[in-house]
Structure 1
Amino acid sequence: MQGEYVLSRYLIASDIVSPAHHSDPSRLLFASRTGKSLLVKERIYRNLLAGEFDRIDQATLQQLRADEVLVPPTSDEFLDLLEKNQRGIRETHTLSLTLQPTANCQLGCGYCGQQHVKKNLDDDTSARIVARIMDTLRRKSYTRLAINWYGGEPILALKQIEDISGQLIEQCGPAGVHFFASMVTNGLSFKADVYLRLQRQRVNSFQITLDGIGHTHDLMRPVKAGGGSFDIILQNLVDVTGMPEFSANRSGVTIRININRHNQDKVADLIDLLADRGLAARNVGLDFRPVVDWGGNQADRDSLAAADFAAREIDWTAHAIRRGFEFDRILPARSIAPCMVVMPDAEVYDAYGNIYPCYEFPYTPKYDAPKYKIGHIRNIDQVRNDKAVTREWYTDIRTSLSPCPRCPLFPVCGGGCAKLWYNGETGCPSFKLNLPERLVLDYWMRRRKRSAQAEPATAG
């Protein structure tokens, strides 16, 4: 057995836990190669670390191999996983694109790096984008098309969204391509009638930001014309998620909370208010994020230290669970890509017709240089930059650009935010600093809801 398998380097262990139904100490393991967690007795964990696999029973060994805690020997486990990721990318059947139909936005968020102007996609640029999308679908035999509407504030270009979506839906049907869409919106114009118009264009997943309650939120996300935005957005959320069509269409909203020192103590209050307004029972999720630098604007100067944020994130998540919110995953899933930047056909289109590899590049002065652009929709067939910044992440990751080749969480993050690494910043996700605590939280959450969810596998 020792010669056939070795202990994977992609393994994280919790501190010792002592569940009531176990008579001797155990701990939780997270196999990041598969995104699986399992409970093992402490003596088995010690055997694993010592390489004494012959002291582990066959049933447990089988589970450890299935979850890829134990793997066949290899000269470089990182390069093997990288090749597996790249193969998975080549074989994907989903074309994922981001369309930013307007450079305009009603808000003047202090941490936003974009420069907003009243510019929407024109008809000619829209037609060229649709033609390019359909040509890519045909050339690569994709079976699914995923559109994410972003901004600026995309609802300010609702007509363009309806026109482009209508063309794509009409053409995807006969081509045998399943079309679906999502949207990142500030929520100010997310009224019931707007939701119904978007749903007809198959937009069923939304991300809306709330950065605290009332005045706290309004300071971070002020309306340019004056006045607050919190009360309007919250009422829109309550109204839309309470519609029978929202549940019938299985629509969902993720509320993103951008957090720094100014609003960190209001996060629990926001969770309570959202729960009190009934949103926890309406397919509404929560996403806690640190405020980061966007395009060199130093928006992270008031952010928490990474370790402090990671610790508080566990507390906020546990509090949200107690208030009835559900999380699709407490533990990160196995992923073949950090995001769209490594997908060869994944592109971002802005209102001017520029094509980028990253959705944070458009409308941001720092990223206006040609090296950040794949090209322009008017001449992309003649002038194309396949080496746009971030596009060669899975080649550059092999260098000293980041510590990813040595990180045990690479299989579930793919390197994190490539844009940050290229900027000389840290692109690691917060779960790198709280994974052991997430393991425990995930385990107890599963025990609490085991009538609806299976518990982690128990080995030994």
Structure 2
Amino acid sequence: MTLVASYKPSRFTFRTRNSRNELVLYNSFTGAVGVVSKEDEGLVESALSSKVLQAPLAGTLQDLVEGGILVPSEVDEFEKAANFHNEVFQATDRLWLTIMPTEECNFRCVYCYEDFKVKEMPRAVLDGIKQLVAQRAPNLSVLSIAWFGGEPTEAPEVITELSEFFLQICEQYGIQYYAGMTTNGYNLTPEYVDHLVTACQVSHFNITLDGLEAEHDKRRILKHGGQTFERIMSNLKQMKASTHEFYCQLRTNFDQESVEEIPKLMDYIADTFEGDERFPVYYRNIGKWGGPNDDQLQVCDGSAGLRSMYALHKTAKEKGLPLATIEQNLGPSNSVCYAALPYSLVVGADGTIYKCTVALDKDYNKVGHIDADGHLQLHEERFQLWVGSNETIDSGCQKCFFRPSCQGAACPLERIESNVQPCPPSKTHLKHVLDVITT
């Protein structure tokens, strides 16, 4: 017997047409994305135009219910969103640490904004991180570690010592452990990759290739001068030859000069990695992020830069390359910036606690310090600047169809600097994103 119920279109549903003129539906509470068949378009359009829909739960309409496109009429979606927000922001069983084992780097990339002042992590800071995790461990279900820098692989002993401690603690308390690393890839010899993946359980890597050899080597240069592309690619090829399970995002930063050359890199990656799903690609327009060379950078900024970014992703998909992050960003809470979350901290090599990895030189981003005993001396006013302004105090965000995905917390840094609550690119250019996903 087919059940009959009363339904309404979800307020978190977005519909558009892709470049094939197909009807595309997306729901930000469930993350569901779907293409409607031509024969069902009339039925779906009618359902989405109805305030109340009495319908059998069968066929296409049942698919809409399962995807959250239609919801029961009695559901209060404002309350549902508020409860979800509390789940995300008030969780006490999570600890996300971005750790800078050194702020030194063996590269000097032309667009880098870091100052490389702190060469080594003092023993007191290393011990403090251990104590912090040990103290939180009895109440944790998830510990997530992101190795950052500088170049984290320039301090391998710190990574090894802390990883061994984290893994021991997680085994003792039954905590899920996740570890990733943003690295330039230069030090990732086969032996070191084997150590990171097996002994340190690093499962995610983020490595940048800014074009083929000539373009890349103009932008990502060794500290004392010299090329980097050939060695990075050698390391990546050996990673591909391994049987390890990992996820290695190949990121490309582009500017006005390099954007036209990126498709050549795509062809090279397609030939080299042969569709290996462990090596998805991601493209991002270079910004003026506060480095000494900002005045010389030929950036693709604003809306034009974002359109180029999504166009590159579409081209990459057409060439058969696996894509990173594009679809994931549409999921519930997936457009929330880590800096907006109370349980996410950046630990500098000298023990400074930050919220954001970009504005490292800004006083308002220096929210505290970690002691050797694991105690966090937090500057509460600065801390609240990052975590206290989101959809809970923004009526516009509360009414937005994209609310479950970004929670009014897409980029606290931009909000702090401009005093305007920004929308994430995944919302402002959602039609482009959905076109990439569905064509």
- TM-score w.r.t. the length of structure 1 is 0.81
Question: After superposition, what is the alpha-carbon deviation per residue over 1:78-117, rounded to whole angstroms, capped at 9, x for unaligned?
Answer: 5642431222443474422111010101222222211013
Determine if the alignment matches structure 1 residue 271 to structure 2 residue 273: no
Cα pair 1:183 1:203 within 8 Å, conserved = yes
Could you list the per-position Cα deviations for residues 169-225 of structure 1 after superposition, in whole angstroms to 9, with x for gaps in the alignment?
A: 233322222433111001111111221222221112110111111222222222220
State how far apart, in whole Å, the 1-side matches of 2:365 and 2:252 are.
Answer: 31
Deviation at 1:315, TM superposition (A): 3.4
Is the CA contact (8 Å cut-off) linking 2:285 and 2:301 kept in structure 1? no
Aligned to 2:84: 84
1:184–1:208 CA contact under 8 A, matched in 2: yes
Q: Which of 177, 190, 193 in structure 2 is aligned with 1:192? A: 190
SS in 1 for 2:253: strand
In 2 relative to 1, CA 359–377 (structure 1 residues): closer, same or farther, beyond 3 Å?
farther
- Seen in structure 2, the aligned counterparts of structure 1 residues 439 and 205 have a Cα distance that, compared at 3 Å, is same
Aligned residue number for residue 172 of structure 2: 174
* Counterpart among 271, 275, 285 of residue 290 in structure 1: 285
Give the CA RMSD over aligned residues: 3.3
- Residue 30 of structure 1: how far off its partner (Å): 0.8
Which amino acid is the alignment partner of residue 250 of structure 2? I
Give 1:422's match in structure 2, choosing from 416, 430, 435: 416
Letter in 2 for 1:179: Y
Residue of structure 1 in register with 2:67 after alignment: 67
Aligned AA (2:165): Q
Distance 1:118 1:16 in 2: 49
Call closer, same or farther: CA 1:50–1:281 in 2, change over 3 Å: closer
Name 1:29's counterpart in structure 2. 25
8 Å contact from structure 2 (residues 196, 202) kept in 1: yes
SS of match in other structure, 1:277: helix
CA contact (8 A) 1:253 1:284 kept: yes
Give 3-state SS (helix, strand or coil) of 2:382's partner.
Answer: coil
Structure 2: any 5+ residue segments left out of the alignment? none
Following the alignment from structure 2 to structure 1, what is the Cα–Cα distance between the partners of residues 11 and 77? 8
Select the residue among 387, 402, 411 that pairs with 2:404: 411
3-state DSSP of counterpart to 2:265? helix
Give the counterpart letter for 1:236 in structure 2: N
Do the aligned residues in 2 keep the contact of 1:241 with 1:279 (CA within 8 Å)? no
CA distance in 2, matches of 1:360, 1:377: 23
> Quick check: 2:104–2:154 contact (8 Å CA) kept in 1?
yes
- Please name the residue that 1:99 is paired with: 99
Distance 2:273 2:53 in 1: 53
> Is the CA contact 1:8–1:71 (under 8 Å) kept in the aligned structure 2?
yes
TM-score by length of 2: 0.85
* Greater Cα shift, 129-138 or 427-436: 427-436
- Structure 1 residues 270 and 26 mapped into 2: Cα distance closer, same or farther (>3 Å)? closer
Q: What are the Cα deviations for residues 343-401 of structure 1, in whole angstroms up to 9, with x where unaligned?
A: 3232111110111222334xx32x2x26631333358747323443566545444456x
Same amino acid, percent of matched pairs? 24
Aligned length: 427
**Structure 1 residue aligned with 2:13:** 11
Check 1:426–1:108 CA distance in 2 against 1; reply closer, same or farther (3 A cut): farther
Deviations 1:325-360 (A, max 9, x none): 223665334233613223323211111011122233
Structure-2 change in CA distance of 1:124 and 1:441 (3 Å): closer
Query: 2:44 aligned with 1:50, yes or no?
Result: no
Q: Which amino acid aligns with 1:8?
A: S
CA distance, structure 2, for counterparts of residue 72 and residue 421 of structure 1: 35
Instruction: Tell me if the contact between 1:291 and 1:299 (Cα under 8 Å) persists in the aligned partners.
Output: no
Unmatched 5+ stretches in structure 1: 19-24, 445-460
